[in-house]
Structure 1
Amino acid sequence: MAIVLGPNQYGKAENRVVRTQRDTPRHEIRDINVSSALRGDFSAAHLEGDQSAVLPTDTQKNTAYAYAKEQGLTSIEDYGLALARHYVDDVEPVQGARIEIEEFAWERVSIDGVEHDHTWVRRGQEVRLAAVTVEGTADAQQTWVTGGLKDLVILKSTGSEFHGFLTDPYTTLVPTTDRVMATSLVATWHYSSLDVDWEAAYAGVKNVLVRTFAEVHSLALQQTLFQMGKRVLEAYGFIAEVRLSAPNKHHFLYDLGRFGLENANEVFHADDRPYGLIQASVLRDDAPAAGPAWDAYTGLV
């Protein structure tokens, strides 16, 4: 029986890069966490300790910071594309590069109703995501881009039901026609085109997801997730597939009857674990292949 080296990659993970634009008195800021992973024939490094084909991970770190200056950071997708193409086009042993980016949002401080030019507070909402994979030589190159978000905590106090479910001797859950539904949403989407206004697309998709969560009278979180993905695809023809992962942040009605108090869906115990985890993909039946970045990035198979 032979023992052989399997698929492998290497890179620099979680480079924290903050880029400020100071060209005018009103500054701009982008705050990201970027990871790179390179693929190619690096077998000599694994089998013989030969590093001659290995671009150091420290160099990848430096490149992430240098490209924030040289290429700018107007959008994380364009920045990721520039990084990935640099590694594949300019570093001879590299046959594929994958860039994953998280972006943390800031909002301007407002003083007496006027936005300050160079002071921000961290906005405690979702984290924006992007993943870029580039493979092949310049004359036969393939590129895949996914966008997304995570940690979007969203809650509706009514408009959600859960009943008619399968039961067995261990079932204790009480059916309900009026419950709190809450989740910390992870959503990722695969672009079928690179001719996209990344900033507008992200804002638009987020708006569709949130609006659908609010508007759909839900008989199950699964139903809501499907409608969220469906409406994104209906709104944006350049998105081929949406994947959603939603932990059910349970809110259980607290028993106040013991104290002689009525509790008409007003007071709940927020139970963070264990939690139901609902995951789904919604796609066009003619959607192109999402590429090698997809499953590992989303955590869905």
Structure 2
Amino acid sequence: MPTLLGQNQYGKAENRVVRITRDGDTHHIKDLSVSVSLSGDMDEVHHSGSNAHVLPTDTMKNTVYAFAREHGVESAEQFGIHLARHFVTSQEPIHRARIRVEEYAWERIGTPGGKHSFVRRGQETRLTQTTFDGSSWEVVSGLRDLVVMNSTDSEFRGYVKDEYTTLPETSDRVLATEVSARWRFNWTDDAREMPDWEESYERTRTHLLEAFAETYSRSLQQTLYQMGSRIIEHRDEIDEVRFSLPNKHHFLVDLEPFGLENDTADGAVYLAADRPYGLIEATVLRDGCEARIPVDLTRL
């Protein structure tokens, strides 16, 4: 039976790169994991094993390290742009490059001698994916593992009930989630001015957190929409935001068997349940734009 080769790509995944810039006694750290994926005229290597069009993945690894030295790491997005442009423009068989970058944050230890001493910031991982096909760009950035909580100003009432419903309504609950978010920039070609990638990330993250904190939540879906809307309304460079929010349930512990009250008004005790959990996912778009971020965020 005849067969056809479908979509294919190859590359070097999870190249760990740490670049330390010394400004006198003050040092600056960029800590990245960079994954390169290339596609193009690769039929022959699959059909006959000919490597005539194959750039070795070891060369991709070396390029990542060389570019970190040559171009520096101004931002995860800018570094991905440098790499994607290089692979597509320097290798004729390569028609498309996708660069994924995870950035791990370090913060300076605030002591008199702490100009070159750091502690790993235990919050989110910053993410970006840069795709270039020789003429147009797509840049999607975001974060994962950002755990947030509102200890009040959240309720859950008025939902559908059937013969299997046991969950009681509540007008005062803990709302906690671990935010996974991606946002798509509307910068698409070199003819336009690039966003300030570092400022954009910090401001977008701030709007996300402010919306979470300031929304009186009647559902996690409502909170998600407010987070996305705040970003779209305040960041002109972003057209689409995709969220995946697991509901990290906190249940009041039944202490009556021990003769104890468990009152939310006075030192309540909760069980933080890790599973099963509700999973809320949605995309928020600028009016007139089409969704392009995959529903499954693990594909980024």
In which range does the TM-score fall when normalised by the shorter chain? over 0.9
Superposition map of 1:24-39 within 5 A: 24-39=24-39
Structure 2: tracts of 5 or more residues without a match = 188-192
Partner of 1:184: 178
The residue aligned with 1:214 is 213
Partner of 1:237: 236
Distance in 2 separating the partners of 1:51 and 1:10: 13
Q: TM-score, normalised by structure 1?
A: 0.93
1:120 Cα deviation (Å)? 0.3
Per-residue deviation at 1:226?
0.4
Query: Which shifted more, 38-47 or 81-90?
Result: 38-47
What is the number of residues matched between the two proteins? 292
CA distance in 2, matches of 1:7, 1:278: 30
> Relative to 1, partners in 2 of residues 1:279 and 1:208: Cα closer, same or farther, differing over 3 Å?
same
Distance (Å, rounded) in 2 between the aligned partners of 1:43 and 1:173 = 56
**Residue 158 in structure 1 maps to residue 152 in structure 2:** yes
- Which residue of structure 2 lines up, in the alignment, with residue 134 of structure 1? 132
Contact 1:188–1:244 under 8 Å retained in 2: yes
TM-fit CA distance, 1:245: 0.7
One-letter amino acid of the counterpart of residue 288, structure 2: D
Summarize the alignment of residues 220-259 of structure 1 with structure 2, pairs less than 5 Å apart. Answer: 220-259=219-258
Amino acid at match of 1:116: G
Offset at 1:237? 1.1
Pairwise CA distance, 1:287: 2.0
Query: Is the contact between residue 129 and residue 139 of structure 2 (CA under 8 Å) also seen in structure 1?
Result: yes
2:110 match: secondary structure: strand
Aligned partner of 1:47 in structure 2 is 47
CA distance in 2: counterparts of 1:51 and 1:277, whole angstroms: 44
What is the aligned partner in structure 2 of residue 198 from structure 1? 197
RMSD, aligned CA? 1.6
Of residues 1-10 and 79-88 in structure 1, the stretch that sits farther from structure 2 once superposed is 1-10
Identity of matched residues, %: 51
Residues 143, 4 of structure 1: CA spacing in aligned structure 2 closer, same or farther, 3 A cutoff? Answer: same
Aligned to 2:260: 261
Q: Which residue of 1 aligns with 2:117?
A: 119
Match of 1:277? 279
Residue pair 1:133, 1:143 contacting (<8 A) in 2 also: yes
Relative distance call for 1:206 and 1:31 in structure 2 (3 A) is same
- For 1:16 and 1:224, locate their aligned partners in 2 and report how far apart those are by CA, in whole Å: 35
SS, match of residue 115 in structure 2 = strand
Distance across 2 between alignment mates of 1:42 and 1:225: 41
For 2:273 and 2:212, locate their aligned partners in 1 and report how far apart those are by CA, in whole Å: 21
Specify the alignment match of 1:21 in structure 2: 21
| Residue 9 of structure 1: aligned partner | 9
With normalisation by structure 2, the TM-score equals 0.93
Specify the code of the residue in structure 1 equivalent to 2:211.
Answer: T
> Deviations along 1:27-71, whole A, 9 cap, x unmatched?
110001110100102111111111111111111111111111111
Cα distance in 2 for residues equivalent to 1:87 and 1:179? 51
Secondary structure of the structure 1 residue equivalent to 2:241: strand
Q: Distance in 2 between matches of 1:30 and 1:66?
A: 15
TM superposition shift of 1:117: 1.4
SS at match of 2:31: strand
Q: Which ranges of structure 1 fall in alignment gaps of 5 or more residues? A: none
Give the secondary structure class of the aligned counterpart of 2:229.
helix
Deviation for aligned residue 1:285? 2.4
Quote the residue 2:168 is aligned against: 174
Instruction: Quote the offset at 1:191 in angstroms.
Output: 0.5
Per-residue CA deviation, residues 208-261 of structure 1 (Å, 9 max, x unaligned), is 111110110000000000010001010011110111110111111110111111
Q: Tell me, in whole angstroms, the C-alpha distance in 2 between the residues paired with 1:164 and 1:2.
A: 57
Q: Conserved in 2, the CA contact under 8 Å of 1:192 and 1:288? A: no
For residues 235-294 of structure 1, the C-alpha deviation after alignment (integer angstroms, 9 at most, x for no partner) is 01111011111011111111011111111131100111111111110001222664xxx3
